[in-house]
Amino acid sequence: MPSISQKGIKMPQSPIRKLVPFAEDAKKRGTKVFHLNIGQPDIKTPQVALDAVKNNNIETLSYARSEGSEEYRTKLADYYVKNKINVTADNIIATTGGSEALLFTIGSITDPGDEIIIPEPFYANYNGFSTASGVTVVPVISKIEDNFALPKIEEFEKLITKNTKAILICNPGNPTGYLYSPEEILKLKEIVLKHDLFLIADEVYREFTYDGLQHTSVMSVDGLEENAIVIDSVSKRYSMCGARIGCIVSKNDAFIKTAIKFAQARLSPPTYALIASEAALETPQSYFDEVIEEYVERRNTLITELNKIEGVKVANPKGAFYCVAELPVKDSDDFAQWLLEKFNYNNETVMVAPASGFYSTEGEGKNQIRMAYVLNKEDLIKSVEILGKALTEYNK
């Protein structure tokens, strides 16, 4: 019998999607499932983006340019300039989602056996992308007690070896909702310049910052021109997850020229999705103001309700739309599956993402879950009520 590759065997399952069959079975039994497990916003996609696809007069759906159309990249550069990120179309490669942007980036800067340092917990697919490229993730642990703040620079220094190629952060963070301060970004600048590393920042949640705080992009910091790489996407910004359009942004010319070769190998990003994404750039600021106001209310509702449950500890997110909660259970993977397989309250249950899949350190996050506050406030209140009842029943 032909054998499967070791790389394939090591490829991790998604902690977000691996429980989907259990959720589908629960629904078949007539149980309503509240989805707190995945960052799929219920916010409406800007109408201007939908109309651009509906109203176009394309007769032949042809390939786009490998790096995305010049019109789209030029308009995207204008968007970045408005956000104090001074780039041009030549600094941008459009990709099939932020996921492909990460794959192209890792492929362009690492060889098998190289290492990338990532503060954990981190977006689960960083593990998968690194495994696919034969790269080792070296975690530096941030703690819920510190609200998942950046670990001390000394902790990073201890982990740097001759194989270290980059530090990767998600800002604001998935799964924690942590927003890096300008001071923390400058500390990272200091260490990557000292050790000649890349600083990769996944900034797909840039718009979603709360409590009067501002996002600091690594691309806006002087002196990082050759080191900084930004991963971005339209998925969360415009509630366009299904469009699958992301991008890489960097002023490092050698890196961009290398990443374009990966883009050429997959031919092009999807044409209709590029059309929608270009139109989405016309979305007025009022759209984001309303969305952010809604997310702040949802965050406050979720945190308030979770704090009512005895034994639950929760970090207070300052960005994105996720939070990590520590539960009075030993194994959140088992608990999350039990919620779907064996529990319901008034014929309703909740689906959460076990947090162990957001760590690469064995044993970390076993009693934590990630929750996405992408439901309306009434459903969030009901979901946490169900969670509280479930914890009582589970711990019997």
Q: What is the pLDDT of residue 41?
A: 85
User: For residues 53 and 276, is the Cβ–Cβ distance under 8 A?
Assistant: yes
Is the pLDDT assigned to residue 16 strictly greater than 80?
Answer: no
Pick the CATH number of 47-280 from 3.40.50.10490, 3.40.640.10, 3.30.160.160, 2.60.120.10: 3.40.640.10
What integer is the mean pLDDT of 328-351?
97
Helix 285-306 crosses helix 377-394 at what angle (to 10 degrees)?
A: 30
Is the pLDDT assigned to residue 79 strictly greater than 90?
Answer: yes
Q: What is the pLDDT of residue 117?
A: 98
Using CA atoms, how far residue 82 sits from 85, 147, 239, 240, 281, in Å, is 7, 30, 20, 21, 12
Q: Judge if the upstream peptide bond of residue 119 is cis by omega within 30 degrees of 0.
A: no
What integer is the mean pLDDT of 148-159?
91
pLDDT digits (tens, 9 = 90+) for 268-311: 999 999 999 999 999 999 999 999 999 999 999 999 999 999 99
Topology (CATH) of 6-44+286-394? Aspartate Aminotransferase, domain 1 (3.90.1150)
pTM: 0.95
Is the pLDDT assigned to residue 375 strictly greater than 80?
Answer: yes
Is the pLDDT assigned to residue 15 strictly greater than 80?
Answer: no
Q: What is the pLDDT of residue 38?
A: 87
All structural domains of the chain with their residue ranges: 6-44+286-394, 47-280
Q: What is the pLDDT of residue 42?
A: 86
Strands 228-233 and 246-249: antiparallel
Give the range among 143-157, 187-201, 241-255 with minimum mean pLDDT: 143-157
Give phi and psi for 345, each to the nearest 5. Answer: -125, 115
Q: What is the pLDDT of residue 119?
A: 96
